[in-house]
Amino acid sequence: MKPNALIRFYIGSAVAIFCFSIVAKVAAHYTYAELRLHDPFLRFLTVWQLLLVSIIIEALAIGIISANYYKSPNIAIGCVLWLTLLLILYRIGFLFSPDHTGTICKCFGGPGGIVGKFSDTLAWLLLIYLFILGAVTALWSSMSTYSRHVSHKKCSIA
Amino acid sequence: MYRIRNVALRSMQDFAKLSVACAFIMICCRVCGNDLTPLGYSASGELRFQQVLSNGVVLYEEIWQFTLDEDAIGKWKLEIYTTFPDKSLPVSVTNIISCDKTNIYSVDYSSDIVETPIGGKPKVVPLKTESYAAVISAGCYPIDESSEVGVIWLAFLGGDYLDPDKTQTRFPNLLVPDPRRDPRAWDCDLKYSLIRSTNHWLISSGEYILQRAYIRKSAVDYPEMDEPIGERQIETFKEAFSRYKNLKSASTVTSDYHLDETTNLNGRLLPTRFHSNLGLEDKSDVSDSFICVVSNVAISATTDLMPPLRGTIRVEDRRMRFKDGRTFRKDVTYTLSRNVWPTDNNDPRMSSLTAARPPQQIIEQSSNPQKFIIVKVLFTIVLLAPLAILVVKWFRAKRN
């Protein structure tokens, strides 16, 4: 099944954003003492370990999304939505954490990283974009699948 | 009647004689230089901090110029001037600290600031607006100041806070750089000897001895210590507590103070040279010390010893500190509306400011907020969702 323009655009932009996020994480300042501290949300991991785990998860997600781009775009959208929701929940949890010290300094390299002091705002904007457009695309995709399914049934009855 | 008149006359004669004698003694004292009327003084000099290797190489050095004024009733003002240790950043700061025998008032003045852009190098930037930071603390121990203020205070004023009948007592260690964050400041005995100077006392030598038995579990047990904010500070605090708790000896000398020379000003002894060795519990090759030389001492009749105010003053008022083991308020912050120090501890405006900033729950004691747990549960569900879908699909495939 060939995905339509909106789905193509959404999946493409999601892959680009996740790739950028990986590059930013890899380019983070690993010498910062803060990276040796425990993460305020996932306390069993240090910030450094969390960076590594998130790089691996994002890379795996990119692999799955790319593999399903033509074959099964619904799986690709689901994967993007899953990762986006995970990142949003992490950020909300970080804000509610009793230990949090202010800004998240991990994603997109953090202050002093490749994006700089606006990294937090940028990350929120991109995640909101991925989530809202993802929800719309998923809805559209499932509706078109449903209508195709109904018309296919009608054809077979006729 | 005649007898009563005689007694009265004799009493008047005795009183007159006594008055003449007193006047004579006072004149003699003035001539000899031992003035019984207490006068204030002003002392200025240079304080040097040095980090020296065992082979004599100086690793780091910082110099402060200072002027200390103390009036006849014990109010004092310390003006301490320093330049940024990094020579490429020529910023000078004047810190003025005053004590009115009830509170300590401190303000920092500087024409430039050091700004570190994100990811860049620090640079000197001229102050855009005349806005300065001030701190007000309750009491007369300068615990909100750094160790350079602490050592000057100890040399000139510390002796008056010690009991001359004792030689050792638990005493705030003002030689630590940040007493609000370092348990060493509160877990030391000071072993001292004093010199009498008219109705004042000077410390001739002192040793701060860290007593392992005094060390408590966390900052919660120290009324004058701040509570850590964020995980980084919590870990730093924990590390400090465990380090001191694990000291091999029950009593460890951490720093000492020695009065080397004094001068007699109008009958009052004042230090003109003193030094202090720091970090003695640390057995590394580097030794830290303060060396002070007082270059000028003069009688002073100044009565206004409060720090002068200029520009906009942002105050961190620590008189409204609160700590009860569960909650903590570090300070109340406000901008001085008029250029007058708020010296009245019962000022009604302070009550409204205090009410607007209730104490916060201490982090170490705080239980996990409900929202935090809900988000954690949701995060776990979303994280495991693909696995659950795969398992369901696998079961369906197996069934078909």
- Name the most confidently modeled range: B67-76, B237-246, B328-337: B67-76
So what's the pLDDT on residue B6? 60
Query: Touching check for A10 and chain B: CB below 8 Å?
Result: no
Q: Taking a C-beta distance cutoff of 8 angstroms, is the pair A106, A47 a contact?
A: yes
Q: Inter-chain contact A96–B119, Cβ cutoff 8 Å?
A: no
Quick check: helix, strand or coil at residue A141? helix
- Interatomic CA distance for residues B48 and A113, integer angstroms: 39
Q: Mean pLDDT of all residues in chain B?
A: 85
What b/e string do you get for B264-277 counting C-beta neighbours within 10 Å, with b at 16 or more? Answer: ebbbbbbbbbbbbb
| Alpha helices (runs of H) in chain A, residue ranges in sequence order | 5-26, 47-67, 73-96, 119-157
Find chain B residues with C-beta within 8 A of A117's C-beta: 118
Phi (first) and psi of residue B273, to 5 degrees: -155, 130
CB B197 within 8 A of CB B269: yes
Mean pLDDT is lowest, of A148-152, B228-232, B317-321, B352-356, for: A148-152
Q: What is the pLDDT of residue B14?
A: 65
Res. B31: pLDDT tops 80 = no
The nearest CA of chain A is from the CA of B230 a distance in Å of 5
Report which of residues B86 and B267 the model is more confident about: B267
Distance in Å, alpha carbon of A98 to nearest chain B alpha carbon: 7
Contacts of A86 in chain B (CB under 8 A): 379, 382-383
Q: Give pLDDT tens digits for A12-57.
A: 999 999 998 888 888 766 666 666 777 778 878 877 888 888 889 9
The minimal CB distance from B232 to the residues A37, A92, A93 is found for A37
pLDDT at B267: 86
Predicted confidence (pLDDT) at residue B26 exceeds the cutoff of 50: no
Name which of B111, B84, B109, B126 is nearest B314 in CA terms: B109
Q: What is the pLDDT of residues B157-170, one digit of tens each?
A: 999 999 999 999 99
| B188-197 and B200-211 strand pairing | antiparallel
Q: What does the pLDDT look like over B239-292, one tens digit per residue?
A: 888 788 778 788 899 999 999 999 999 888 999 999 999 988 887 788 999 999
Distance CA B328, CA A101 (A): 17
Q: Give the tens place of pLDDT for each residue, A100-120.
A: 554 454 444 344 445 555 677
Of A34, A38, A86, the CB nearest to B379: A86
Distance from CA of B121 to the nearest CA of A (A): 11
Q: Among A145-149, B171-175, B299-303, name the most confident range.
A: B171-175
More confident residue, B370 or A14: A14
The answer to whether B119 contacts A40, with C-beta atoms less than 8 Å apart, is no
Q: Which residue of A has its CA nearest to B379?
A: A89
Check residue B317 and give its pLDDT. Answer: 93
Asked which of A128-142, B8-22, B299-313 is least confident by mean pLDDT, the reply is B8-22
- Chain A residues close to B229, C-beta within 8 Å: 101
pLDDT at B349: 82
Place of tokens 């680009």: A16
B368: tokens are 């996990």
DSSP state at residue A38:
B
> Rounded distance, CA B80 to CA B248, Å?
38
For residue B63, is pLDDT > 50? yes
pLDDT of residue A103: 44
Give pLDDT, residue B202. 95
pLDDT bin (cut points 50, 70, 90) of residue B393 is: confident
Q: Does the pLDDT value for residue B332 go beyond 60?
A: yes
Mean pLDDT of A78-107: 76
Residue B106 exposed, middle or buried by CB count within 10 Å (0-12, 13-18, 19+): buried
For residue A110, give Cα distances in angstroms to A24, A99, A102, B238, B390: 8, 18, 12, 27, 35
**Mean pLDDT across B336-362:** 83
Q: Kindly list the domain boundaries of chain A, sorted by start residue.
A: 5-157
Q: Are strands B251-265 and B200-211 parallel, antiparallel or unpaired?
A: antiparallel
Please tell me the predicted confidence (pLDDT) of residue B273: 97
Of all residues in chain B, the percent with pLDDT exceeding 70 is 88
- Residue A79 with chain B: CB contacts under 8 Å: 386
Task: Say whether pLDDT at B10 is over 70.
Answer: no
B121 phi and psi angles, rounded to 5 deg:
-95, 150
